[in-house]
Amino acid sequence: MMDVNQFKDHEQVVYLNDKKTGLKAFIAIHDTSLGPAAGGCRMWKYDNEVDALNDVLRLSRGMSHKNAVAGLKLGGGKAVIIGDSRTEKSEELFRAFGRMINDLKGKYISAEDVGISVEDMEIVAEETRFVAGLNKGEHASGDPSPFTATGVFLGIRAAVKHKLNRDSLDGLTVAVQGVGHVGYYLCKQLHQAGARLIVSDINQEALDRVATEFGAEIVGLDEIISVEADVFSPCALGAIINDDSIDLIKAPIIAGAANNQLARDDHGQALMDRGILYAPDYVINAGGIINVAAETRGAYDQGWVNTKVEKIYDNLMTIFERSLAENMPTNIIADALAAEIINKARKA
């Protein structure tokens, strides 16, 4: 079912249909008050086009908020390609996607996301210059996943400090749902910090890797959300916090890389009512877009990136403290903070 409220405040939504290549995609531009809309492209086998549209609208709104709170001169946008990323990719498809991005004349800047690799984006970049997160080119910065993982790791530290009053992660148990690019790098940092890992993923090879390298315990896809842990870290797809799952969560902290973790905004209140601290997803997972944003500034400066990523810790502590002081869910506090920044830019 289409949620008409998802269109709220969106500036533009484009449907792409290239009959020659079979490309079917949406690009959603939520807000450009702070700058051109930036956000990755994901490729997913949606059940239907309405599901894809719902997803791109939620994701683009989240990107506006993410970029605002991260202090970037970028608006929010997102793209989704409908298809199986394992079997339906082609050079012609990505070239068609690049030409359609180019038609927007810089209003939207794309990068890789779920199901899309740096190599895929490099094909897109042969048709348009409005692409970031590349391995080659004058300002290329490569895979942003390690920076996303670092931001999530810092966010977990902030949440542990606020909720458990601990500066160290040594001896704590973290349940990581999804050990792809971001999840792997996150597990590496958590392991180095002395945390015990419990993991799940649909990819057995990825699971075996973190089990071998970091001593992670593997559990089933349906088990990960209800395991005994100090932190639950969703790093797969969104809407994992929903009516069915909230009562199953045993961890006192939710802090992960996945976008749109709350199926509905009111689930933030439900978590608060249960005494669970939620790190708003678009605040904690901003490391990747910060790295991508560095490419849009001109010469790539990793020092600038590191400074911005490190600020994720402070941003979350501010949100946690405001949530406590105002007795409001952290996701609502984060949305209010993002709106303040965007509205100020819009007026200017």
Which helix (H) or strand (E) segment holds residue 23: the answer is: strand 23-31
344-348 LR contacts (CB < 8 Å, sep 24+): 345/33, 345/34, 345/68, 346/31, 346/33
CB 285 within 8 A of CB 260: no
Residue pointed to by tokens 């070239």: 95
Distance of CA 151 to the CA centre of its chain: 11
Short-list 186, 182, 177, CA closest to 214:
186
- Among this protein's residues, is 78 annotated catalytic? yes
Distance of CA 233 to the CA centre of its chain: 12
Candidates 24, 66, 78, 107; catalytic one: 78
Read out DSSP for 108-174? EEB-B-TT--HHHHHHHTTT-S-B-S-SSSTT-----HHHHHHHHHHHHHHHHHHHH--S--TT-EE
**Structure tokens belonging to residue 24:** 């079917």
Structure tokens at 54: 């719902």
Contacts of 85 (CB under 8 A, 6+ apart): 43, 44, 45, 114, 115, 116
241: left (phi > 0), else alpha (psi -120 to 50), else beta? Answer: beta
Distance CA 211, CA 157 (A): 22
Q: Residue 116: CA atoms inside 13 Å, Cβ hemisphere, count?
A: 31
Residues with active-site annotation: 78
